Amino acid sequence: MTAQPPAKGRFSLTTAISYPNGAPHIGHAYEVIATDAIARFHRLDGYEVLFSTGTDEHGLKIQQTAARQGTTPRALVDAMSEKFRHMAEALNCSHDRFIRTTEPDHYAAAQAIWARMRDNGDIYLSKYIGWYSVRDEAWYGEDETELGPDGIRRAKATQTPVEWTEEENYLFRLSAYADRLLALYENQPDFIGPETRRNEVASFVRQGLKDLSVSRTTFDWGVPVPDAPGHVMYVWVDALTNYLTVCGFPDEADLRWRNWPVDLHVIGKDIVRFHAVYWPAFLMSAGLPLPKRVFGHGFLLSKGEKMSKSLGNVVDPMDLIATYGVDQLRYFVLREVPFGGDGNYSHEAIIGRINADLANDLGNLAQRSLSMLAKNCEGRVPQPGPLTEADRALIAAADALPGRARAAMADLALHNVLADIWTVVGDANRYFAAEEPWKLRKTDPERMGTVLYVTAETLRAVGILVQPFVPTAGAALLDLLGLSPEARMLGHVGAENRLAPGASLPAPAPIFPRFVEPDAPAA
Ligand code: ME8
């Protein structure tokens, strides 16, 4: 049995939870895919992982959408949340929990954090007067809004309409936390990533913080404020608390509590303020440890435009999965978009990646080399002869992949992890072409065996490394190399676990078909 690399401790991470006021779009899929790749990478590296995703089901936006559709908020979220859950499954997401904020344990967590903030003297009753964007579920200061030529006032940052709101609310003493937040950003530079987001947040806080309205009385679709009839919690107080709920809060004896504080919140760039200002302030007030890192990824844009229903360019992730395949979609978004920046989606770009990187570079290499093994080596791993410099260089590049991947992953540079893997795939293709094993079959069969061995050993490393990104194809490649399920960890790459000469291999099968346009004429 293969020796197992040592366990490395825990790693917990979350996506944002999505508003189920409509069906999921490609932006939601992108976040799930990226977070899942990070979760899978850590499992692959021996961490015990807790990974959550889910839906954010309360608030005025949901209530208004339900009213517009002539249904109840409950019926709307039940139907829509199911679509998000289905999408996560279809994307091969390996989450441990899909949380819905309408679940009873979440009510208990939200009410418990509220009570702790109140008992700490940070919540008081007052009249709130200000601008509210239902679309963003966010309060804005006068200076953060502007009047458009159409006479409609909008939030400058998001261009969503705001409405004047005067209400007796509970307020959270956010103003008292500005210094502590600035100290946090200073002492823990990793707390917010990427750096541009950190600078934006710090400059926002440096301007001074106003107290935040944290309850609403004009509608009732929310978590009731404890001991305050008529008040429901501001949806963001409730929503952010989902991260505690999945860790078993408020029961600190719950085994899941070991996962708090989480290592990483993966969110989009538009909601960094909520996660890097409000959330740590709430936690400080409640006397709870802070998450270690908040990372705001960029937006996936449809040919450069923000997606919206009114622009008519919302891309249904289920259609993309059906058209291109799950692994293909996962690979495309993670490779194409530098993680943290914005990216573009287009049909041409995705088929370019599928056919060049997946079908040609990796798929063909595996298919050609494994078919030669099947035909010329009786379907067994050959015994390598003495290694040349070229053999050693390729094996060394493959062996170095886990170290490089860990370093890139520490910066959440997912695109670089993939770029590094494909550099080795490119090296392997050049090696294979230069060594011409198909000619060696007659002239020097032993050397042919060595070349095929070195290629297979490189594919073993590549197959192990790609699993977090393209889980189905990664597993299929490792199956073709005859690797047992317990020999597929990152720590198995390298000299100690080389393919065993003589081991028999299954019949080769293609792992990445080329994308052929459905209406293309038959070849
Ligand atoms: O913000 N590209 O929910 P949401 C990439 N419920 N990411 C995108 C995107 C795009 N085009 N559009 C949205 C919410 N996102 C709150 C979160 S967390 C306690 C509560 C990202 O459904 C967005 O940035 O509007 C967010 O991280 C996630 O999708 C859910 O967005």
Task: Kindly report, residue by residue over 491-510, the tens digit of the pLDDT.
Answer: 999 999 999 999 999 999 99
CA 246, 248, 254: angle at the middle one, nearest 5? 145
pLDDT at 301 over 90: no
For residue 302, the model assigns a pLDDT of: 76
For residue 470, the model assigns a pLDDT of: 98
Let me know how long the chain is: 523
What's the 27 CA to ligand 1 centre distance in angstroms? Answer: 7
Using a 6 Å cutoff on CB, does residue 31 contact ligand 1?
yes
Least confident range of 133-147, 192-206, 232-246, 273-287:
133-147
- Three-state DSSP at 166 gives strand
More confident residue, 379 or 303: 379
For the whole model, what pTM was predicted? 0.96
Burial 470-481 (b: 16+ CB within 10 A, else e): bbebbbbbbbbb
Tracing tokens 């990796």 back to the chain, one arrives at 362
What's the 452 CA to ligand 1 centre distance in angstroms? Answer: 46
Per DSSP, the residues of 442-509 read HH-HHHHHHHHHHHHHHHHHHHHHHTTTSHHHHHHHHHHTT--GGG-SGGG-SGGGPPPTT-B-PPP-
Q: Which domains does the chain have, with CATH numbers?
A: 9-120+175-297 (3.40.50.620), 123-172 (no CATH), 347-504 (1.10.730.10)
Q: Which helix (H) or strand (E) holds 129?
A: strand 123-133
Using a 6 Å cutoff on CB, does residue 366 contact ligand 1?
no
**Cα gap 176→455, rounded to integer Å:** 61
pLDDT at 521 over 80: no
pLDDT at 522 over 70: no
- Three-state DSSP at 57 gives coil
**Cα gap 223→232, rounded to integer Å:** 5
Q: What is the pLDDT of residues 91-144, one digit of tens each?
A: 999 999 999 999 999 999 999 999 999 999 999 999 988 999 999 999 998 999
pLDDT at 519 over 90: no
For residue 114, the model assigns a pLDDT of: 98
pLDDT at 213 over 70: yes
Using a 6 Å cutoff on CB, does residue 91 contact ligand 1?
no
What's the 46 CA to ligand 1 centre distance in angstroms? Answer: 30
Pocket test for ligand 1, best of 271, 283, 299 (most atoms within 8 A of CB): 271
* Protein residue whose Cα sits closest to atom 18 of ligand 1: 16
Using a 6 Å cutoff on CB, does residue 299 contact ligand 1?
yes
Report CA 433 to chain centroid distance, whole Å: 36
**Cα gap 99→246, rounded to integer Å:** 7
Q: What is the pLDDT of residues 13-61, one digit of tens each?
A: 999 999 999 999 999 999 999 999 999 999 999 999 999 999 999 999 9
For residue 357, the model assigns a pLDDT of: 97
What's the 268 CA to ligand 1 centre distance in angstroms? Answer: 6
What's the 14 CA to ligand 1 centre distance in angstroms? Answer: 13
**Cα gap 286→260, rounded to integer Å:** 14
More confident residue, 183 or 314: 183
For residue 311, the model assigns a pLDDT of: 61
For residue 262, the model assigns a pLDDT of: 98
Q: Is the dihedral of CA 116, 121, 125, 130 positive or negative?
A: negative
Task: Name the residue among 285, 271, 284, 241 with its Cα closest to residue 138.
Answer: 271
**Cα gap 447→387, rounded to integer Å:** 9
Least confident range of 294-303, 321-330, 367-376, 434-443:
294-303
